[in-house]
């Protein structure tokens, strides 16, 4: 599978004002692990915790390394890449 985004790609996001995150969404979120802002795909949702994974499984820093992400840390859903 070809990754949806490459490093340094720019995206436009839309906050989840009316909808809820769902499996398959690509989201931008804050985390305490550097580089602090991540863009990953949602793989699992349990209550207000989101499991995210990158498409490059060998290199990705994602929930397999830092665990679940709190919904409150989501900046928005990627709606378009520039």
Q: Would you say 79 and 14 are in contact if contact means Cβ atoms under 8 Å apart?
A: yes
Across the chain, which has 82 residues, the per-10-residue mean pLDDT values are: 78 93 97 90 96 91 95 96 89
Burial letters for 24-57: b for 16+ Cβ neighbours within 10 Å, e otherwise?
Answer: ebbbbbebeeeeeebbbbbeebeeeebbbebeee
What's the rounded Cα separation, in Å, for the pair 54 and 66? Answer: 13
- Supply the pLDDT for residue 1: 57
- Supply the pLDDT for residue 78: 96
- Supply the pLDDT for residue 42: 98
């Amino acid at each position: 599978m070809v990754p949806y985004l490459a490093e340094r790609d720019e995206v436009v996001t839309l906050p989840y004002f009316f909808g809820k995150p769902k499996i398959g969404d690509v989201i931008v979120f804050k985390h305490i692990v550097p580089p602090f802002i991540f863009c990953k795909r949602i793989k699992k949702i349990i209550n207000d915790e989101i499991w995210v994974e990158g498409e490059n499984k060998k290199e990705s820093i994602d929930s397999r390394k830092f665990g679940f992400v709190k919904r409150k840390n989501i900046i928005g859903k990627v709606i378009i890449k520039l």
